[in-house]
Structure 1
Amino acid sequence: MRVEEGFQIEPFVEDNPYTSDPVLPSLLKRILPPQTLKEVEPDLVRFGQDVITKIRAAGDTVAPPKLTQYDQWGKRIDHLQTSEGWKFLKATAQAEGIPGIFYERKYGEDSRPYGFAKALLMVGDSHEVFCPLSMTDGTARVIQLMGTPGMKKHIFSRLISRDPSRAFVSGQWMTERPGGSDVSRTETSAQYLSKSNRFGPFYYLDGFKWFSSATDSDIAVALARTGSPKDGSRSLSLFLVPLRLPFPRDPSDPVPSPTSNGILVHRLKNKIGTHALPTAELSLERTEANLIGPLNQGVKNITPVLNITRVWSAIASVGGLRKCMAIAISYSKVRKVEGNKRLLKDAPIHVAQLASISLMYRALTHLTFGVIRLLGKVECGTASEEEEYRLRMLTPVVKAFAAEKACACMEDAMTTLGGAGYMEENDIGRMIRDCLVEKIWEGTTTVLALDLLRSVSDAKRFNSLLTWANTIIESCSSELQSTLQEQLQILKSRKDLLKSIYQVPVTPLMPRPALILTGYVCASIYLLEHAIWSCNTGQPETEIDVEVFKRWVDHSGFSAAVEDVKKANINVDNVVWSNNAIVFGFSKVNPKL
């Protein structure tokens, strides 16, 4: 039989990712002022169509970067070549106003939800260009807050430019070999040259950065030691590092040598995923840099970058899930089963699996955009003190929770296509590999759980979260309270459990399950807030919005999170001993027995 003979599977076709999205249009209708929504929605519809046409087509021309370290005569050149597809996707995002929208602030605090809505639509087809653009976003914020006049004049405008020929991209160099996420052992040193240039105090940096995820960038922000190593992170400062000299240059100027600022690319990383993203190990040798912010406050000064990139990480997780879910739903509309008599979309057991994936996507999207709204308010100075507290607590939560939950659902979406889901052509495999990095980049779940623990140690801050949750719950109408009586009672008990587990002292096994429970509780509150709005304003999706809240509270993962928290408080010393024995082998009698 010839291949074109016999049964032919009908190709699935995805709809516009904005107009077909089960969450985003309704969510934006709730959180954006009517006039703002009227202005931005046509752009989102147009951009959604671009995503599934020209942006997706560009993915065929994306390839891993190549590094040539030496020329024919043995001279070090470190020529990094990225693919045309990578360049196109990056330029497209910049032209679309990512990250420009955030700083143009045409819509004030609502500029963040608008810009991140565009990112959500594109991220599944971005091949990780949003990794360097997220760091560019964070660097723009740092310069806006504490950059020198020269940085603000000559660099800030180019970080947020919509003109790809002029726009700068920034990297972020923190990770070194001794410490990983622990920057207290940073080896890179900074030597003050007792002079300044137009960007401020002038230094030489010498050291080794083990993980740079934007090696093709124009600048980077980096930590380096300006005091004694014995002072750990308290003697680190933040620096702006041009990758090439002279800097800055106009697009028409000759491109300087990649080694012109003493930056040598040791090797490109051989990663499980994010293959198009040029990640490298770099050595710095008398590399020119300028101080950003106060001396010896580098960790504090780089915090805005971390907070912004963690929100971007959540968008990457949710956006990857969005595309996988869209593929699964589209496939169900064309694939026939039972002797070619029925479509998958008409098989209840199959739709049940799709509904489970959609439930997780809805919860993660509401949680993520809840944090994005807080970020927009804080940046525009319109946030209350309580909202500032919530942003501090929920930033590590949304990053970790989205990464933990999205990847598993992406795998579920893959299985709904059967064997076809395991094929590289549909792009699900790439997205799973790429999204796995979100469990690690900018802090593992364990690291972020400890960060959340530090945050909630401030009773005033933690109480603001509980007060917010109570306010949303109490805003239910009497009719809705009657409909949701069982789920509201369950949610209140789990919220109270959350309050009790963060009482000092917190047991050593508690931080991670506590973060997961926090994610479930806060996602519940955001889903409830949306359901209340839907009921109060008579939205056509009211019945579904209420059902989504019900199912989320009843979700098996939510119940499991509660049990994990309870277990973390039982017989802790014995469990810790047993864990060590299981992992490392029996070595001595349990002292607690």
Structure 2
Amino acid sequence: MEPSSSNTGFFQELPELANQFYDDISVQRVMNLLIPADLRREVEPEIAQLADDVLAPHIFDLITDAERNLPYLRGGGRNAFGRPTSELVTGEGWRGLQAFGIERGIVAYNYTADHVEYGAHARVLQMLRCHLWEPSGASTTCPGAMTDGATRLLQRHLAMGAKTPAGSETEMSEAQRKVLQSAYDKLTSRDPSQAWTSGQWMTERPGGSDVSQTETVATYVGNHGKGAADVDADGLTLGPWSIDGFKWFSSATDAGMTILLARTQPGKGLSAFFAPMRRRRPDAAPVTQVTTGSRSKQNTELNGVRIQRLKDKSGTRPVPTAELELKGMRAWMIGQEGNGIREIATVLAITRVHCSIACLGLAGRALGVAKAYSLKRTISGAAGGKSRLLLYRSPLHMQTLADLTIDYHGLMLLTFYTAHIMGLDERQMPSSTKGIRSSRSDGDLVHPPAAAVGPLLRALSSLHKAYVCKQSVPLLHSVCMEALGGVGYLMNTESEALNMARLFRDGTVNAIWEGTTDVLSTDLVRTLTHKKAGKASLDALEWLVKTSVVGDTVASSLLMPAWAALRTRIETTSTNILLADARAILFSAAEILIGGLLSADAHSDGSTAVAAMSQRYLLKMGFLGRDSDAAKAAASASVETRLATNTAIVYGPNGPNVQQAAKL
């Protein structure tokens, strides 16, 4: 017997992450379900390369740097003699990760000409790339989400502006068109020295998601507002509105622009505005700048913005989230006056999908670590025996990982199906049919009737975000923490790839950002009970449930009655009671939809592993009774059969690559 020491004795071999494009079974199945085969073959090499690159050692070094060197206000926001400067400093890690995301087109992918021919599929492919990048991005995907939303908003208005008749109320001036086009080009650029990210300023002190109490005011001053510069940092005309107010949460404080809400006059409601973050500095103005990289900012200043302080958060710590005072911020109105809620809804629909993708990207990475760890870690064999076996051969551990994988896969299907519907809504008339053709006829799960797309998206937007982000929190804890034991609770910055605690901390915010679970549940009930549009959304959801269980008599016999009962409850119960029970209604609807999507996935190729996932989900959620024949058969299966099924669920039909694991 030899005692161990700090440098001798047993040392656990580090697990090594596999390329998640291939290793994550859910990623593969989402692609197979939603993307035509010819397009999959075309894009696979590029996406697989991205999945390799996000695991490179220098990426993890940038993550560690971003977490250690957090953003700060130089001098606490003042210079040596007390003058306000609002000089934000971000670290090398943050800037390096942002540059990587920009160069790889994490946002631009959905908008650039190279991918227009992918039509509606471009949105799902973009989100798959975001999913792979998310856990390595150190929350640069947060401003990326807002950038995506702002890009879509500007894209819509530039397209509408080109078709608006001269002299109409919504006619866009040539100056504004030029400004918005310049901003759009920067948002979709892949050159980090030129690209912009965007902020999204809604939250104020009177209420988080409740923007009805907004205290920010916009005043029309023309193009020569008193005390304001006339042009932005690029020499383009500043907007004719001057905005004053206070924004309580502003992520992406280092952005190049923002979309924000403000009041214009009593009784008019809220309006949406575009504003660049910087403008040319008048001679008498104080020197204020943002240090974001190599570009000089000496001749510019913040556009009527003062950074009061940065928020100290439990997670997403590298993101420069700030409190901002606006005084004379020059801006352009987006859309019609008083129509700001409708305009910002375009942004929210996209950022909500990004929230779910963020949670699932983190959970997918954590699950990848847990799977890799199971190929390295040994435990005691038979009770009382001296033999050792790898964790992936433990029936109990594989049962646990399989249960987590089923939950994860269901959430993946709901989120990416929502992204698919969003892509259809954005591009129902693609410029090219490449990648759109398939053997399926119109009206199947992947090709819903055109009239159902909009109503379906309105319902799924709130539903998927609330359910996925809420359910991801315990999933992240179980995978991030428990699967590795005490090591999973450590920060592990010395081995950043194993920093599961960071994944957990960063994931929990998404159940709050862009609407808490209660707020989004309320939104869903109001959508489904709307006097004019409610029936269309209910019909669209019913179409989805019915279509997803085609060919599966068991799932159909369970899920269709469950949906019918839920719909009857929604249509016959007073709105006040429904609002009080909104969370339960949203969860019930989400679980019915996930059950249907799992059924559709299983029947898409006859996978026995996914069929087992579908059955176990129906049993877990109470759709399938414990006394059913299927449940009894599953319960009486031998340990060997259970282990084989669970291994196929977690590692895929070919099982784990044990030979590779032995070499690592």
TM-score, length-normalised on structure 2?
A: 0.78
Tell me how far apart the structure 1 counterparts of residues 622 and 135 of structure 2 sit (CA, whole Å).
25
Does the aligned pair in 2 maintain the 1:246–1:256 contact within 8 Å?
no
Tell me how far apart the structure 2 counterparts of residues 443 and 260 of structure 1 sit (CA, whole Å).
29
Does the aligned pair in 1 maintain the 2:558–2:624 contact within 8 Å?
no
For 1:365, the equivalent position in structure 2 comes to: 412
For 1:95, the equivalent position in structure 2 comes to: 103
For 2:45, the equivalent position in structure 1 comes to: 42
Tell me how far apart the structure 2 counterparts of residues 284 and 256 of structure 1 sit (CA, whole Å).
21
Give the letter aligned to residue 178 of structure 2.
Answer: G
For 1:215, the equivalent position in structure 2 comes to: 253
Tell me how far apart the structure 1 counterparts of residues 356 and 260 of structure 2 sit (CA, whole Å).
23
What number of residue pairs does the alignment pair up?
541
Tell me how far apart the structure 1 counterparts of residues 458 and 624 of structure 2 sit (CA, whole Å).
26
Q: Confirm or deny that 1:398 pairs with 2:470.
A: no
Q: Confirm or deny that 1:62 pairs with 2:138.
A: no
The alpha carbon displacement at 1:182 in A equals 1.1
2:244 alignment partner, one of 199, 203, 206: 206
Does the aligned pair in 2 maintain the 1:191–1:205 contact within 8 Å?
yes
**Quick one: higher RCO (CA 8 Å, sep 6+), 1 or 2?**
2
CA 1:511–1:20: 2 relative to 1, 3 Å: same
For 1:548, the equivalent position in structure 2 comes to: 613
The alpha carbon displacement at 1:557 in A equals 7.6
CA 1:549–1:559: 2 relative to 1, 3 Å: closer
Does the aligned pair in 1 maintain the 2:391–2:397 contact within 8 Å?
yes
Tell me how far apart the structure 2 counterparts of residues 96 and 175 of structure 1 sit (CA, whole Å).
30
- The range that moved more, 329-338 or 67-76, is 67-76
Give the letter aligned to residue 344 of structure 1.
Answer: L
CA 1:214–1:252: 2 relative to 1, 3 Å: closer
Does the aligned pair in 2 maintain the 1:520–1:558 contact within 8 Å?
no
Q: Confirm or deny that 1:160 pairs with 2:188.
A: yes
Does the aligned pair in 1 maintain the 2:251–2:320 contact within 8 Å?
yes
Does the aligned pair in 2 maintain the 1:501–1:514 contact within 8 Å?
no
Q: CA deviation digits over 1:497-542, x for unaligned, max 9?
A: 221221241414311111111111111222222122113xxxxxx1
SS in 1 for 2:521: helix
For 2:297, the equivalent position in structure 1 comes to: 255
CA 1:417–1:264: 2 relative to 1, 3 Å: same
SS in 1 for 2:368: helix
CA 1:340–1:67: 2 relative to 1, 3 Å: farther
The alpha carbon displacement at 1:302 in A equals 1.1
For 1:438, the equivalent position in structure 2 comes to: 510
For 1:576, the equivalent position in structure 2 comes to: none
SS in 1 for 2:244: strand
CA 1:257–1:178: 2 relative to 1, 3 Å: farther
Unaligned runs of 5+ in 2: 159-175, 225-230, 282-289, 381-385, 430-448, 493-497, 626-664
The alpha carbon displacement at 1:58 in A equals 2.1
Alignment of 1:23-38 (within 5 A): 23-38=26-41
For 2:544, the equivalent position in structure 1 comes to: 468
Does the aligned pair in 2 maintain the 1:321–1:407 contact within 8 Å?
no
For 1:79, the equivalent position in structure 2 comes to: 87
The alpha carbon displacement at 1:153 in A equals 2.4
The alpha carbon displacement at 1:305 in A equals 0.5
1:135 alignment partner, one of 142, 146, 150: 146
Tell me how far apart the structure 1 counterparts of residues 237 and 612 of structure 2 sit (CA, whole Å).
55
The alpha carbon displacement at 1:423 in A equals 1.1
SS in 1 for 2:23: coil
Does the aligned pair in 1 maintain the 2:546–2:556 contact within 8 Å?
no
Tell me how far apart the structure 2 counterparts of residues 284 and 557 of structure 1 sit (CA, whole Å).
52
Tell me how far apart the structure 2 counterparts of residues 272 and 440 of structure 1 sit (CA, whole Å).
13
Q: CA deviation digits over 1:198-245, x for unaligned, max 9?
A: 6685111111000001111010111111011xx3xx521111121111
For 2:211, the equivalent position in structure 1 comes to: 183
SS in 2 for 1:337: strand
Give the letter aligned to residue 483 of structure 2.
Answer: T
Give the letter aligned to residue 74 of structure 1.
Answer: G
Tell me how far apart the structure 1 counterparts of residues 33 and 584 of structure 2 sit (CA, whole Å).
31
The alpha carbon displacement at 1:188 in A equals 0.8
The alpha carbon displacement at 1:195 in A equals 3.9
Q: CA deviation digits over 1:113-144, x for unaligned, max 9?
A: 11111110111121111110110111111111
Q: Confirm or deny that 1:298 pairs with 2:370.
A: no
Tell me how far apart the structure 2 counterparts of residues 225 and 240 of structure 1 sit (CA, whole Å).
14
The alpha carbon displacement at 1:307 in A equals 0.6
Tell me how far apart the structure 2 counterparts of residues 82 and 92 of structure 1 sit (CA, whole Å).
16
Unaligned runs of 5+ in 1: 536-541, 561-593
Identity within the alignment, %: 31
CA 1:235–1:327: 2 relative to 1, 3 Å: same
Q: CA deviation digits over 1:130-188, x for unaligned, max 9?
A: 11011011111111112542234211111011111111110000001112211111111
For 1:119, the equivalent position in structure 2 comes to: 130
The alpha carbon displacement at 1:467 in A equals 2.1
CA 1:515–1:558: 2 relative to 1, 3 Å: farther
The alpha carbon displacement at 1:388 in A equals 1.4
CA 1:257–1:183: 2 relative to 1, 3 Å: farther
For 2:361, the equivalent position in structure 1 comes to: 319
Does the aligned pair in 2 maintain the 1:517–1:558 contact within 8 Å?
no
CA 1:262–1:195: 2 relative to 1, 3 Å: closer
2:21 alignment partner, one of 18, 26, 29: 18
Tell me how far apart the structure 2 counterparts of residues 267 and 220 of structure 1 sit (CA, whole Å).
18
TM-score, length-normalised on structure 1?
A: 0.87
The alpha carbon displacement at 1:257 in A equals 6.9
Tell me how far apart the structure 2 counterparts of residues 472 and 436 of structure 1 sit (CA, whole Å).
30
The alpha carbon displacement at 1:381 in A equals 2.5
Tell me how far apart the structure 2 counterparts of residues 136 and 296 of structure 1 sit (CA, whole Å).
23
1:416 alignment partner, one of 483, 504, 524: 483
Aligned-pair Cα RMSD in Å: 2.2
Tell me how far apart the structure 2 counterparts of residues 26 and 512 of structure 1 sit (CA, whole Å).
29
CA 1:557–1:140: 2 relative to 1, 3 Å: farther
Tell me how far apart the structure 2 counterparts of residues 257 and 178 of structure 1 sit (CA, whole Å).
36
SS in 1 for 2:259: strand
Alignment of 1:534-545 (within 5 A): 534-535=605-606, 542-545=607-610
Does the aligned pair in 2 maintain the 1:77–1:258 contact within 8 Å?
no
The alpha carbon displacement at 1:544 in A equals 1.1
Tell me how far apart the structure 1 counterparts of residues 482 and 188 of structure 2 sit (CA, whole Å).
40
Does the aligned pair in 2 maintain the 1:244–1:257 contact within 8 Å?
no
For 1:522, the equivalent position in structure 2 comes to: 593
Tell me how far apart the structure 2 counterparts of residues 363 and 257 of structure 1 sit (CA, whole Å).
52
For 2:628, the equivalent position in structure 1 comes to: none
Tell me how far apart the structure 1 counterparts of residues 255 and 622 of structure 2 sit (CA, whole Å).
40
Alignment of 1:333-348 (within 5 A): 333-338=375-380, 341-348=388-395
The alpha carbon displacement at 1:14 in A equals 1.1
Tell me how far apart the structure 2 counterparts of residues 456 and 370 of structure 1 sit (CA, whole Å).
19
CA 1:223–1:558: 2 relative to 1, 3 Å: farther
Does the aligned pair in 1 maintain the 2:238–2:330 contact within 8 Å?
no
